[in-house]
Amino acid sequence: MKLADASIRRPVFAVMLVGALVVLGLVSIPRLGVDLMPRVEFPMVTVTTVLQGASPETIEREVTQPLEQAVNTIEGIRTLRSTSSDSLSQLVIEFELRYDVHQKAQDVRDKVAAARGDLPAEADPPVIDRVDPDATPILSVMLAGPQSIRTLSELADKKIKPRLERVPGVGSVSLVGDRAREIRIWVDPVRLSGYALAVDDVLAALKREHVEMPGGRIETERQEYTVKTKGKLASVDAFANVIVADLDGRVVHLRDVASVEDGMAEERTIARLNGERGVSLQIRRQSGENTVSVAKGVRRELARIRETLPSGVQMIEAQDTSRFIESSVDDVGVDILWGGFLAVAVVLAFLRSGRSTLIAAIAIPSSLLASFGFFYFFGFTLNLMTLMALSLSIGMLIDDAIVVIENIYRHIEGGEETRSAASSATHEIGLAVVATTFSICAVFVPIAFMRGMVGQFFREFGLVVVCAVLASLLVALTTTPMLCSRFLHVGHEHGRVWLALERTYEGLEQRYRAALRFGLEHRRLVVGLLLAAVVAGGLIAKLVPIEFAVPADRSEFNVWLKLPLGSPIQQTLAATTAVETALRSHPEVQAVFSTIGGGVQKRVNEANLYVLLTPKAKRRQTQTEIMRELRQRIGELGLPLKDYAVEEIQWFGVAGMRFADVMYSLRGPSTDRLNFMAQGLLSKMREAGGYVDLSSTYETGKPEIALDLNRERAADLGVPAAQIGSTISALLAGFKVTNFEQGGERYDVRLQVLPEYRNDPQKLGLIQVRAPSGALVPLGNLVTPRVGSGPMEINREDRTRSITVLANLSGKSLGEAASEMAGFGREIGVRGEYQLVPVGTAENMSETIAAIGFAFLLALIALYMILASQFNSFIHPFTIMLSAPLSFVGAFAAMALLRVHLDIFGQIGLLMLMGLVMKNGILLVDYSNTLRERGASARSAVLEAGPARLRPVLMTTTAMVFGMLPVAFGKGDGAEYRAPMGIISIGGIASSTLLTLLVVPVVYTLVDDAQQWAEGRLRALRARLTRTPSTIPD
C-alpha cells in the first residue's frame, strides 16, 4: 500500500504523523471534563401557574385544561402531562428528541401568552421553563451546631450561600430545613372584637405607620437636598406601639390586640444528618457545567468557609454525586491499564519476541491518546460511556498491528528481505485490515445515530470506538510496517520456552488442519452444526432476563416515606426519626441525611432519606441485599406510613416527579373508574410477587374545611366575598404585611391569628369581618363550615385523566414484569376508552429494543456493502457474515451461566459483536481468494488458508478476550454497567472463533460449488441454444 511504502521510505514522516495525534491528545486531556453520563438534551418544557386558594378541581378546570388546549397545537409533542393540585397547575410537555428545546420553549411561551386571557384574572402569570437534567443537586452541605436553627439559617443564607453562589459553575444554592427570621404579629381575635376592630384595621395601621416615601428635593443657591420621609419603624419593639385606632380619645396600640415577636418563619421543612438537626444547602450546577470540576471548586470554597465559622459550628458534605463519578472514572482507568497489559501479554506469548511485542504494543497508547484529541474536538467528556468505549476497544486497538506484524514475520521466515517483506506483506494484508476496521466502524456508526434516549446516551460511545479503531488502523499501516522494516528480525536459535510454545502452536495447526479436512469431507454435518448453533442461541436467549439498566452498586440509595394526607410535620418527623434509627443500626450504613418538605411542592407529609453505605470494596453485602434487608426493617416498625420505598438514585429526573422500576399509566375519562382499576392492578401485582414499594399517584382523603358562603345574608349585610376571603387568608394563611430592615438586611413582617385559635374549626366563629357600613359581622353569620375531603392532585396525560401505578422490582426482571403487566391489564378490564400505557423505564425499554433493532439492520446492510466492495463479490459477504449468528450462542450462554441480565448495555454489546467477529472470516476468505488467484482450487485454498491464518486469528481473538476481562469481571464502582458488554463480547467472540474456523471454510466451498454448478448450467444452456437450428417459417 502506498501509505505503508511511504512510511517505510520516510520513517520520520510516519513518526510525526502519529506523533501529531498523540500530542494533540495529550494537550486535550487536561481540558476534558469529567461526568457520570454524556450530556443529554431532553426537549421538555414545564408550564407552572399559581392560583392561590383554588382546589385541584378548580385548577384543572380553570387553568390546566385551557393551557393544555393552547399548547396541544404545537408540532412535535410526544407526551403532554399535567398535575393539578392545591393552588398549583404544572404542565410537562415532552417533545420528540429531534427538536431543539430552546425553539420549542419559545413556541410554548407564544401559545401560553395567547391563552392568558382564558385564565382567571387572579392567577399569577404562567412560568415557562426548560427541564434541565443538570438541575438536580450535585452537593448537599449540612450546617449544624449548638446555635438555634434561626442563627444557623441566618449564617447559611447571609454568609455561606452568597460565597458558594460565586464559585464558577454553580447555578443556584437553595436551603432546606431553614427557618428565616420573621417579625410575627400574632392577632388575638377576642381582643379585636373587644375593641370593635377587625383585621383590616390592623393591616391598614401597619401600612399607614410603617412607610418611607420620597419627599422630593430642596434646592438652595449652593446645594441640592433630597427629602425623604423616614416613617419606617426602626426596631421590632416599635411595632407594638403602632396606633391601630383612636376610639373616642382612647388610643388602641398594636400590643393591645396582638403580640409582636421577633421570631422565625413557620416550620415547613426539616433537615437532619445522622439524627442531628441543621440547615442544608443544596448546590446545583449551571446547565452544561462539569459535575466534578464544579464539586471540586465548591469543596475548596467550603474549606475556606470552615476557617471563618463560629466556634462549635460544623459544615459537613452530606451528599456528593461527584464521589461516585470520580471513583467510576478511576476504576475504568484501571480496567484500561489491565486490559492493555493482558493484551500485550497475549501478543508476547504468541510472537515470543520482545521487539515484535513492543512494535504491536505501541498501537495501544498511540490510539488511546489520539482518541482524546477527538474527545476535545467533538465536545465529549470523560464519562462512563466514553471510557467504557475505550476499555472495550483495548483488544481491538492492537488487532490490526498484530495481523500486519504476523504477516510480515511470515514473509521474513520465507526468506524475504526485511524491508521488502514489510512492504509486500502489508500490501498483501492491507485491504483485509482496512476491511476489518471498516466492519467495526460499520457497526458503531449506527450506534452513534440511533434514535430515542438510548441514541442520545450511546452517541459518544459509538463515535469514540470509531475514532479509536481508525487511529489504530493508521498506526498499523504506517508506524507498524516502518518499525518492522528496521527492527523486526527472525532468530534461528531459540530457548526452551520459545520451542515449547512453537510445538504447541504447530500442534494446534495440525489438529485444526485435520478438523478442517474432516469438515470438508462431511459438509452436511458442518451445516447441521451451524443450524444447531443458531437454534441453541435462540433457545438460550429465552433464558436470559431482560432489563432496561442493571442496578449499579453506588454505595448510596434513597428511602422515601409518605404519611397520610393531613399529617403535620411533627408526625412526619417522628416517623422519620424512627426510620433513621433503623437505618443507622445497620453496620454498613455510614450516614443518613433526611429532609422533610424539601421537594418542589414542599409536602410536609413526605420525607426523603439519603443513605450512604460503606464503600463497595470494603463490605461483604451488595447494595441490593442491604436495600432488601432495610426495606423489611422499615415494614416491621409499624409506623403510620401510607407508602414508602427503598430505591436507587436516578441518573436524572424531573423536579417533583417520582420514578420507579415499573411505571404504568392508566388513562381514561373517569377518575373513579381509573382508581378502581389501579387498585385492582396493585392487587394483582401483590399476588404475583416480585413487586415492592407499590403505590399509585392518585390520592384522596385530604382533610379540608370548605367555607360555604351564604350569599343572600352577605348581600344583606353588605359584605363582599372578596372581603371575607382576604380576612380568612390574612388570619389563617399568614399574610405578609410589609418588610422590616435592620443591618442592611430585609425581613418579612407576617400577620397571623394566634396558634390557639387555629387548632379547632369551631373557633372560626370568633373572627369578625368589617362591612362597608363599618359594622362588624361575625364570620359565622356569613359562612357555613363543612368538613370533608378532596383529591390531593389530579393527573392528566395526553389531555385525559390518568393514574400511574409505581413499583420497584425484587427478584424479577423488567422484561418479565412488562409481560405480566400486559396480562394484568386484560384481567382488570382495560379496554375501549381506557388504556394501560408503560411509562418510565418500561417505555424506554420498548423504545430501546426498537432503536437497537433498526441499528442492527442498518449495520448488517453496511457490513454487506463493505464486504462486497472488499471482495468484489455479491456472494462472499454472506459467507463471512455467518460469523454473526455463530457468536450469539456463546454470548447468550455466557450470560445465562453467569446470571447476567440483558440490559441496554448488553444489547449494544450484541450489536458490537457483529463487527468484532467479522475479522476472522475476513482473514480466512481474503487469503483463500489470494490463493485462488494463484491457481488453487477452493478446497486446497481453504486447507492452506485456514492453518496459515490460524495464528493471527487466535492471536487477535485472545488479545481481544483478555483485553476485555477487566471489563467483564471488574468489581469497581460502575462495573455493573460495563460487565454485560464484556461478558457478551467474550462469550460471543469465543464461540464465533471456534465455529468460524470450521464453518466459514466449509460454506466457502459450498458457495464455490454452487457457483460452479450455476456456471455449468449456464454454459450448457448457452451451448444448447447455440446447437439448436433456427426454425424461422418461410
More confident residue, 764 or 482: 482
Q: What is the model's pLDDT at position 67?
A: 94
Q: What is the model's pLDDT at position 436?
A: 83
Picking from 887, 883, 862, 851, the residue whose alpha carbon sits closest to that of residue 985 is 887
Q: What is the model's pLDDT at position 236?
A: 86
pTM greater than 0.85? no
For residue 1034, what pLDDT band results from cuts at 50, 70 and 90?
Answer: very low
Whether the per-residue pLDDT at 772 is higher than 80: the answer is no
Helices 321-351 and 291-306: crossing angle, nearest 10°? Answer: 130
Residue ranges per structural domain of the chain: 44-130, 182-264+702-790, 512-552+849-1022, 556-701+793-845
- Tell me the average pLDDT across 270-291: 87
Q: What is the model's pLDDT at position 977?
A: 84
Q: What is the model's pLDDT at position 1032?
A: 47
Q: What is the pLDDT of residues 386-412, one digit of tens each?
A: 888 888 888 788 888 888 888 888 888
Picking from 983, 953, 928, 923, the residue whose alpha carbon sits closest to that of residue 431 is 923
Whether the per-residue pLDDT at 134 is higher than 70: the answer is no
Query: Cell numbers of 278, please?
Result: 441543621
Contact residues for 1018 (Cβ-Cβ < 8 A; gap 6+): none
Query: Cell numbers of 505, please?
Result: 502452536
Q: What is the model's pLDDT at position 112?
A: 93
Q: What is the mean pLDDT of the chain?
A: 86
Q: What is the model's pLDDT at position 355?
A: 85
Provide CATH code, domain 556-701+793-845: 3.30.70.1440
Task: Find cell 373513579 and name the residue.
Answer: 672
Query: Cell numbers of 314, please?
Result: 460544623
Contact residues for 708 (Cβ-Cβ < 8 A; gap 6+): 783, 784, 785, 786
Give the pairing of strands 88-95 and 139-144.
unpaired
From 483-487, 665-669, 962-966, 1010-1014, the region with the lowest mean pLDDT: 1010-1014
Sign, Cα dihedral of 113, 119, 121, 122: negative
From 32-36, 605-609, 858-862, 897-901, the region with the lowest mean pLDDT: 32-36
Provide CATH code, domain 44-130: 3.30.70.1430
Q: Is 889 buried (19+), middle (13-18) or exposed (0-12) by CB count in 10 A?
A: buried
Contact residues for 147 (Cβ-Cβ < 8 A; gap 6+): 155, 310, 312, 313
Q: What is the pLDDT of residues 327-360, one digit of tens each?
A: 888 888 888 889 889 888 988 888 888 888 898 8
Phi and psi at 963, nearest 5°, equal -65, -25
CA 826 to chain centroid, in Å, comes to: 32
Interior angle at CA 208, CA 205 and CA 210, nearest 5: 100
Query: Cell numbers of 469, please?
Result: 479503531
Whether the per-residue pLDDT at 304 is higher than 90: the answer is yes
Contact by Cβ (8 Å): 930, 895 = no
For residue 1029, what pLDDT band results from cuts at 50, 70 and 90?
Answer: low
Q: Quick one: residue 552, left, alpha or beta (phi over 0 = left, psi -120 to 50 = alpha)?
A: beta
Query: Cell numbers of 139, please?
Result: 452537593
**CATH: 3.40.630.30, 3.30.2090.10, 3.30.565.10, 2.160.10.10. Which one for 182-264+702-790?**
3.30.2090.10
Contact residues for 311 (Cβ-Cβ < 8 A; gap 6+): none
Write the DSSP symbol of residue 286: P
Picking from 690, 691, 682, the residue whose alpha carbon sits closest to that of residue 827 is 682
Instruction: Give the 3-state secondary structure of residue 643.
Output: strand
Q: What is the pLDDT of residues 909-948, one digit of tens each?
A: 888 888 788 888 888 888 888 888 888 888 898 899 888 8
Q: What is the pLDDT of residues 488-526, one digit of tens each?
A: 877 666 778 888 888 888 899 899 999 999 999 998 998
Question: How far is residue 676 from each of residues 377, 583, 828, 962, measured CA to CA in Å?
Answer: 55, 35, 9, 56
Q: What is the model's pLDDT at position 24?
A: 93
Q: What is the model's pLDDT at position 653?
A: 57
Whether the per-residue pLDDT at 654 is higher than 60: the answer is no
Cα separation, 626 vs 388, in Å, equals: 27
Whether the per-residue pLDDT at 650 is higher than 80: the answer is no
The CB-side HSE value for 250 (13 A sphere, CA atoms) comes to 5
Cα separation, 716 vs 559, in Å, equals: 56
Three-state secondary structure readout of 389-407: HHHHHHHHHHHHHHHHHHH
Whether the per-residue pLDDT at 776 is higher than 50: the answer is yes
For residue 677, what pLDDT band results from cuts at 50, 70 and 90?
Answer: very high
Query: Cell numbers of 394, please?
Result: 483495548
Query: Cell numbers of 938, please?
Result: 477452493
CA 406 to chain centroid, in Å, comes to: 44
The CB-side HSE value for 179 (13 A sphere, CA atoms) comes to 19
Cα separation, 517 vs 721, in Å, equals: 99
Cα separation, 276 vs 917, in Å, equals: 58
Interior angle at CA 427, CA 425 and CA 429, nearest 5: 70
Write the DSSP symbol of residue 196: T
Cα separation, 141 vs 160, in Å, equals: 10
E strand map for 730-865: 735-742, 745-753, 768-770, 776-778, 783-790, 793-797, 800-809, 835-839
Q: What is the model's pLDDT at position 385?
A: 86
Cα separation, 926 vs 942, in Å, equals: 10
For residue 651, what pLDDT band results from cuts at 50, 70 and 90?
Answer: low
Q: What is the model's pLDDT at position 599?
A: 66
Whether the per-residue pLDDT at 181 is higher than 80: the answer is yes
Q: What is the model's pLDDT at position 794?
A: 86
Alpha-carbon dihedral angle through residues 437, 438, 444, 445, given to the nearest 10 degrees: 150
Which residues make beta-bridge pairs with 801?
796
Secondary element (H or E) of residue 47: strand 44-50
Question: How far is residue 953 from each of residues 51, 511, 530, 948, 949, measured CA to CA in Å?
Answer: 71, 15, 20, 10, 6
Contact by Cβ (8 Å): 945, 927 = yes
Contact by Cβ (8 Å): 328, 352 = no
Cα separation, 581 vs 494, in Å, equals: 69
Query: Cell numbers of 436, please?
Result: 476489518
Picking from 143, 183, 136, the residue whose alpha carbon sits closest to that of residue 163 is 143
Helices 384-413 and 904-933: crossing angle, nearest 10°? Answer: 20
For residue 767, what pLDDT band results from cuts at 50, 70 and 90?
Answer: confident
Whether 512-552+849-1022 shares its CATH topology with 556-701+793-845 is answered: no
What is the fold of 512-552+849-1022? Answer: Multidrug efflux transporter AcrB transmembrane fold (1.20.1640)
Give the pairing of strands 662-667 and 800-809.
antiparallel
Q: What is the pLDDT of residues 588-602, one digit of tens each?
A: 999 999 999 876 667
Picking from 796, 676, 740, the residue whose alpha carbon sits closest to that of residue 263 is 740
Contact residues for 671 (Cβ-Cβ < 8 A; gap 6+): 698, 791, 794, 801, 803
For residue 80, what pLDDT band results from cuts at 50, 70 and 90?
Answer: very high
For residue 1023, what pLDDT band results from cuts at 50, 70 and 90?
Answer: confident
Contact by Cβ (8 Å): 657, 677 = no
Cα separation, 546 vs 558, in Å, equals: 24
